[in-house]
Amino acid sequence: MGPHELGDRPRVVVAPDKFKGSLTAAEAAAVLGAGVRRHRPRARIRAVPLADGGEGTVDAAVAAGARLRRTLVRGAVEGRVRARWAMRTTSSGGAAAVLESAQASGLDQVRPSPASARAAHSYGCGQLIRAALDAGATDVVVGLGGSAMTDGGSGALRALGLDVLDDDGAPVPLGGEGLLSAARLDVSGLDPRLRSVRLRLAVDVRNPLHGPDGAAHVFAAQKGADHDVRCELDAALRRWAGLLAGLDGARPFLLPGAGAAGGFPSGFLALTPATLERGFDLVSSLVGLEEQLADADLLVVGEGSMDLQSLEGKAPLAAAALAADRGIPVVAVAGRLALSPEQLRGAGIRAAASLVDVAPSVRAAQEEAGRYGQLATLDALRLLAGAPPPPGESLPVTGHETTVDCG
């Protein structure tokens, strides 16, 4: 593609995901927007922070106008955490809640070990869902990702009235390990509001509940599970699946994506009208991305590491595809850029730059992401226009693989 001239007062949508460890999505939007302003001082900039439906979903909703709330809930293993969630008014005048499993049951709350992998649970996430229902929400979005548990969502459902009982009729311990002694499910106390609420589970994986590609074997290692614990947790999820399947009126739940967040969707799919939706699609709808792009002259996207995983539908490149389909030029800014120019062009991106390549070191790129994010944005815009950067200010990106990750 040839050079592109923006004009003096371009309408620019700046829609990055977080630069993990350096910038939240909202902070990244401000930094990249400042870089655009340095290139075009009279640009009309709209900041639209994005997420994939996991961590950062609440922040994206708040940036789009939702009201931030906090609720004290049980943590993933022990103690309590003050979980952040959001409420917004829908176009029909109803109330919608936006939650994240990581806020209540996040991996960042625990020191991953075999013991924590066995014990971690989703009870606090169920408490968040109950808080949203108590607040009048008729539409609840749960972003899944960054979770510590592998309990099939059993803990969350127990917070909402489900009883998980052993052979003696006593409640089993919370956590994935507790499911190994589960013998019966009692749904009589399940919150009746779950039958009518619109419950949407945001996922960005298609892994099944159990098996070689399931929640335990694929994701539990990062949660502290060794080989033996992964096998135990997989057996626990199989037992959970058998109990769910044996319930009268159980809905289909062994779907692609049911293994997300330690199998969290499975119980909700079986016992409620919950649906699985692609995380980016949900977030895009929450922040009104398509409407923001309607009259845009340029889209600027960004994330910490733009690599092969980004091509699998991650938020920045999914947004780039939306813009490219509308003929809107797209530039990308990343902490680390590990895609070739051909891969970037195939994703609809006309120019790209990275913080690692404009900063004197990876550490500087991480610690001064605001400064180097602006410079990288300037580089990307100059590349879009076909003009090289001034000597000594920064270096153009060639799309090579970098061995260190800025975020």
Residue 165 · residue 105 · CB < 8 Å: no
pLDDT digits (tens, 9 = 90+) for 106-115: 999 999 999 9
The predicted pLDDT at position 141 comes to 96
Residue 380 · residue 353 · CB < 8 Å: yes
Q: Is 214 helix (H, G, I), strand (E, B) or coil?
A: coil
pLDDT digits (tens, 9 = 90+) for 347-363: 999 999 999 999 999 99
Domains of the chain (ranges; CATH) run: 11-48+291-385 (3.40.50.10350), 57-281 (3.90.1510.10)
pLDDT digits (tens, 9 = 90+) for 252-282: 999 999 999 999 999 999 999 999 999 999 9
Residue 3 has pLDDT above 80, yes or no: no
Q: Which residue has the tokens 């975020």?
A: 407
pLDDT digits (tens, 9 = 90+) for 209-256: 999 999 999 999 999 999 999 999 999 999 999 999 999 999 999 999
Residue 399 has pLDDT above 70, yes or no: no
Residue 404 has pLDDT above 80, yes or no: no
How far apart are the C-alpha atoms of 374 and 14, rounded to whole Å? Answer: 12
CB atoms within 10 A of CB 138: 16
The predicted pLDDT at position 52 comes to 86
Residue type, 234: D
pLDDT digits (tens, 9 = 90+) for 366-386: 999 999 999 999 999 999 988
Q: In the chain, pLDDT over 90 holds for what percent of residues?
A: 85
- For the chain, the straight-line distance linking the first and the last C-alpha, in angstroms and rounded, comes to 29
The predicted pLDDT at position 209 comes to 97
Sheet holding 351-354, edge to edge: 44-47, 11-14, 298-306, 330-337, 351-354
- Of the two residues 4 and 382, the one the predictor is more confident about is 382
Residue 66 is classified by DSSP as P
Residue 394 has pLDDT above 60, yes or no: no
Residue 95 · residue 49 · CB < 8 Å: no
Residue 121 has pLDDT above 60, yes or no: yes
User: Phi, psi at residue 38, to the nearest 5°?
Assistant: -65, -30
Question: What residues form DSSP beta bridges with 337?
Answer: 306
pLDDT digits (tens, 9 = 90+) for 302-323: 999 999 988 887 899 999 999 9
